[in-house]
Structure 1
């Protein structure tokens, strides 16, 4: 839809319909499914340029909640069957992806999400009116607030929708993380026999295998899959039925429990009604926790990307222990240069997620009394983090990790020249002699292995057993094992 048609109300093309709210009359584009409340939000919040329609999970969540509410109100005798039927049908269409371009309010908005809820009420009401055979805006037949929003408030619908959308988004993120973890597991198996030098503080340390190095990345990701699963449980406690502040005013005494059961049945998600709806309406702690876990995921994956960039640095003057698959030319001036662009983009996603977590923290802290007015920016921040992390994990898995190869010769050369391997000599020749060997190797460039043979400190047979990858990279390296 042409944005100028929404903002230029003097134009006669296309035709307009007149709608009324507490501020007076306003002209709404005749072909719009949204109404006057949405239009005022468009005018008031030209902030990010991103509409709530950019988040399909959120729109589907709103439609699911409106359908559950209509069915509950029907069961309680509060809504007639004809209206309930068309409301549910309209919601099913929206859940299926229809009319998302009519969810046009900015994701960043004042009013604690009221504009988002009103947008949903109006779109669903006007589509339901069409299903009844009436024109859009004929609210005497079916009203956005009186019927679609019956027994509800923004203050229970909006946070419940955020939880439902977050649950689905995070579930998809976990799937992407699992795929990334499996790629690292495969590489760990592929590189299991390749001995290399470990490093601490960027200095040579004791030997390990490249497989062990890659296995740690798989474990790090797997741990955070579990942490996200834990965080999902917090998304399952909802305040639907709380209405304005948690007292349940304007709703039936059985509404909260029935609508929760219907939502549970419709989504397959184990939703429960919060024990204290007043507390649940004002507390954003579950979002703070989820955002914190997302930050943890981002930080750990970013650390992995830092490692991949270091390990692949070069190709002649860096570590050059692994090769990342080349994705694109790396310079407009330097021929042959290839950059680690995939880890770099994932690093940048991590920086964004860390910033989003700061935003969520400030917004949650800024809540006052019985409501937090800043849930829209909390939602926007969390949804961006989830979406971008998911994309980042997928790109990292498919366009980087799966194609990594090892430079076996470079790994072998590094081990043979490393003085860090002298640590393995401690149980056999003592710390003092091992230190002397390390110092001499560093000063002369002679390998530790050659020095030990020349000084006859250990036999060749002993050294072969000592420098076996299986021996060097596991516990049990003691004199009695010679």
Structure 2
């Protein structure tokens, strides 16, 4: 095995032994040694966003006359390579690091400085702090990275996935609209409902989720870039943030704006908490939808079995021919993770002290994971479960025939107490509703046929 070789590099705290082959420097190596916590790193999309910020920042600083044009060009090119995903392996700092994300910001600065020095004319050294990080602070760059990445993910992945799910739920609501089934409250028999109405309720839950996310986007897309250390903008040009953000917006095709108040944006990013809460809401909605479908499909021979789910894989290693609702179980587990991530973000937001939140890495990572998981799961659930769901119409009719809650329709004619007494007797003697009510002599067969028809019970009326 070849022996690892090292180089000696310096940061503001002194010398560090750094592997010879890497592009990062002493500050990054110090963080690697300080935070050997997990294998978790910022997602590649986050790293790419950081590269984009650094690239556009260098170009703007050159235009404003704060960076030598040749150095800025090399920085912009090196950072652009990160944006293109070229140097992901050089980003080695653990998520569980300094709460401002300074170590990741310096990781980027050092890699870019190393690469830019290779690109610039010979004899010129590009410096991580003085050149790459000019007009910036970890305290505004890392929050900006998080906001851009989660906003872009929302626009490009989660909202389209929700739209696909909603569309299929609407299709099912129309397809199943004429089929009546037993309604259930408290998981007990209730008055009839159409299967299409059930799915229309699911569809509207998803529509509301879409509306909530869309209403959040203007706040989520406000960026703290330009606030530098504590929001005052020390050591940065007043035009820097606006011009850099405009360049980023043009590149990504998503409108971002400079925050209306830097002191709030860096200290307590409420829109990230709002996003986590809304992700939790949609996870709860999806959990409900998945569990409902699984419950209504339970069986298939000794359960409710009103819905039928397509088989996608064998369900048991011991019970032959058993099939399980595996796609729904996968969905429910994703919902559990998203709900847990909301708690992580909540705790992270409580680290907003004075002029800075000091849990940005874990907040950003939790939000990224939730959005990424939900988007992937929604496409999978829609394609591999929802679109192939069918209704067992004969089973719906069979269960309706044994549903004493249909007697509710007779309340206006016979009165609540009389109906309750007849249903109680019918249940005790295992009689059908028709038989029990005809026995009272208080209502004719024709009236029973009219009022016990389940379809009219699914619409308003007396």
Determine if the TM-score, normalized by the shorter chain, exceeds 0.5: yes
Task: Determine the structure 1 residue equivalent to 2:224.
Answer: 239
| Residue 112 (structure 2) pairs with residue 124 (structure 1) | yes
Question: Residue 129 and residue 469 in structure 1: after superposition, are their counterparts in 2 closer, same or farther (change >3 A)?
Answer: farther
Alignment-derived partner of residue 70 in structure 1: 58
Aligned residues: 461
- Cα distance in 1 for partners of 2:134, 2:146 equals 19
CA contact (8 A) 1:418 1:447 kept: no
CA shift for structure 1 position 336: 2.5
Q: Does 2:253 correspond to 1:268?
A: yes
Q: In structure 2, the residue corresponding to 1:27 is in which secondary structure?
A: strand
Report which stretch shifted further, 256-265 or 298-307. 256-265
- Match in the other structure for 2:79: 91
Query: Quick check: 1:422–1:438 contact (8 Å CA) kept in 2?
Result: yes
Distance 1:448 1:133, change over 3 A: farther
Kept in 2, the 8 Å contact 1:416–1:449? The answer is no
Deviations 1:402-435 (A, max 9, x none): 1112111110001111001111112233323322
Matches of 2:129 and 2:290, distance apart in 1: 50
Q: CA deviation at 1:98?
A: 1.5
Does residue 1:43 correspond to 2:43, yes or no?
no
Aligned partner (choices 56, 61, 69) of residue 81 of structure 1 = 69
Does residue 329 (structure 1) correspond to residue 314 (structure 2)? The answer is yes
Task: State yes or no: 1:24 paired with 2:14.
Answer: yes
1:164 paired with 2:148, answer: yes
Q: Which residue of structure 2 aligns with residue 103 of structure 1?
A: 91
Determine whether 1:471 maps to 2:460. no
Picking from 260, 263, 288, the partner of 1:278 is 263
> After superposition, what is the alpha-carbon deviation per residue over 1:289-325, rounded to whole angstroms, capped at 9, x for unaligned?
1111111111111111111121111122221111112
CA displacement, residues 98-122 of structure 1 (integer Å, 9 cap, x when unaligned): 2112212112212410011111112
- 2:200 corresponds to 1:215: yes
- 342-351 or 125-134, larger mean C-alpha shift: 125-134
TM-score (norm: length of structure 1): 0.90
Aligned partner of 2:364 in structure 1 is: 379
Map 1:73-472; keep pairs closer than 5 Å: 73-132=61-120, 141-171=125-155, 172-452=157-437, 457-458=442-443, 462-468=447-453, 470-472=455-457
The Cα of 1:170 is off from its aligned counterpart by: 1.9
Question: In the alignment, which residue of structure 2 is the partner of 1:7?
Answer: none
TM-score, normalising length: structure 2:
0.94
Q: Which moved more, 1:442-451 or 1:201-210?
A: 442-451
Q: Which segment is superposed worse, 211-220 or 149-158? A: 211-220
5+ long unaligned stretches in structure 1: 5-10
Offset of residue 393 of structure 1:
1.4
| Contact 2:192–2:455 (CA under 8 A) maintained in structure 1 | no
